[in-house]
Amino acid sequence: MVSAIFEQIVNGIVSGSVYAIVAVGMTMIFGVLRAINFAHGEYYMLGTFGAWFAIEYFDLPYPVAIVIGVVATAVIAVVVGQFVMQRIVGAPPETGVLATLGIALVLQNTVILVFGGGYKFFSGGYIEPVSIFGFTLAEQRVLIIIVCILVFVGLELMVTYSRMGKAMRAVSQNIECCAVVGIDVPQVALRTFILGACLAALSGVLTAPVNVSVYGGMGEIITFKTLPVIIMGGLGNVRGTFFAAMILGIAESLVATYVGLQFRDTVGFATLMLVLMWRPHGLFSAQARF
């Protein structure tokens, strides 16, 4: 019984890692742009499709495909960022909502138009199970957990120490003051956006081998899974997002086991509401900035 619960917690951490990598990009984008990015899951999808394309059409090995997926997404993110996201800086929240909904429609359905709407089969990755502490996990999942930890350590360092990270924090606190002291706000916004999109793509490529099916509309679910995480984590808070993602992953896993899989998707929002009753500004935010 105890080991069963423990196994479910491990399962929760695995899915939590996936949410964490996607959510951290979204939360950083929110911090800088103040926009809920309804298109965030689409970058997850683009990354997966990029890798799938590389493997299927050019027979490239999986590690190369990871790079291609992320780079392809970065290129698209540069275009979207320059033409759309930069203009959202300082605009009312409604603008961000409509614009990102529009982007989501465009990206999702362009992929469907180009590659056909049917589900594809992702071959590649390290799917052989390995045994750790008596549980079996696909190697790929171990990889996901390791990458997740690396990503968060890297981001934590970047946000705290690097010039870019400091600029990001400054922009998320006060746009006008940034402009006064000479921080190039649109540039910071663009870079943050590209970084966030690449993280989503990375998460997509890493999960593709275990999720197998690849299709144009796969991003939407990810967007909706991620939204409660970024709120719970305290918008714009990198560390908080990590813990919120883990909590959600574990909660989902336990609900799927002891209540029923059909309630899994409601867990995120139900947890979110309970958390907000108790702490209206999220779990990890000392005070609400947004």
Partner 1 sequence: MMHKLDRRAFCFAMGLIGLGVGSVDVWAQDATIRLGIVAPMSGPNARYGSFSLRGAQLAIEEINNAGGVVGRKIAINSGDSQGTPVEGVSATRRLIDLDKVDFIIGDVSSSVTLAMQPVAEDAGVLLLNAASSNPKITYAAGVGGFKWTFRNYPTDENRALIVIQYAAEKRGFTKFAVLSVDTDYGRAAVDFTKKYLPGLKGTILTEDYYKEGEVDFRSVLAKIRDSGAQAIIMYGNADTTPIIGRQMIEVGLAGKVPLIGNAEFNTESTIKAAPKALEGAVEAAAWLPAWDAPKSLAFVEKFKAKYRETPNNHAYVHWETVHLLAKAIEAAGSADRAKVRDALSKIKYDSAMGEVTFDDHNQARLPMILLQIENGKPAIKGAYAAEIKYPAK
Partner 2 sequence: MSPNDLSLPAPRRDLRLPFGAALAVAACLAPLFLGNYALHAIIIALIFLLPAHGLNLLVGYTGLLSLAQAAFFGIGAYTSGLMAVRFGTPFYLNFLAAGLLAAAIALPLGIPALRLRATSFVMCTLGFVIIGQAIAKNWISLTRGDMGLSGIPKPYFALGPASFTISGTTSFYYLVLVIAVMATLAAYLIVRSAAGRNMVAIRENETLAESVGIPTWRYKLVVFMISAAFAGLGGSVYAHYLTVVSPLTFQMYYSTTMLIIVLGGGAGTISGVVFGSLLFVGLSEALRVAPEVRMIAYGFCLLALVFWFPKGFAPLIDRFWSFLRERK
Residues contributing to the site for partner 2 (CB under 8 A): 30, 36, 84, 87, 91-95, 97-99, 101-106, 108-110, 113, 224, 227-228, 231, 235, 262-263, 265-266, 268-270, 272-273, 276-277, 280-282, 288, 290
**Smallest distance, Å, CB 13 to partner 2?**
23
Residue 120 interacts with partner 1 (CB under 8 A): yes or no: yes
Nearer to partner 2, 124 or 236 (CB): 236
What does 217 bind: partner 1, partner 2, none (CB cut-off 5 to 8 Å by kind)? partner 1
What does 110 bind: partner 2, partner 1, none (CB cut-off 5 to 8 Å by kind)? partner 2
Nearer to partner 1, 133 or 278 (CB): 133
**Smallest distance, Å, CB 240 to partner 2?**
13
Number of residues that bind partner 1 (CB under 8 A): 44
Residue 221 interacts with partner 1 (CB under 8 A): yes or no: yes
**Smallest distance, Å, CB 42 to partner 2?**
11
Both tokens of 290, joined, read 């947004």
Contacting residue, 11, 73, 237, 285, with partner 1 by CB under 8 A: 11
User: For residues 20 and 198, what is the distance between their CA atoms, to the nearest angstrom?
Assistant: 13
**Smallest distance, Å, CB 24 to partner 1?**
19
CB contact at 8 A, 201 and 22: no
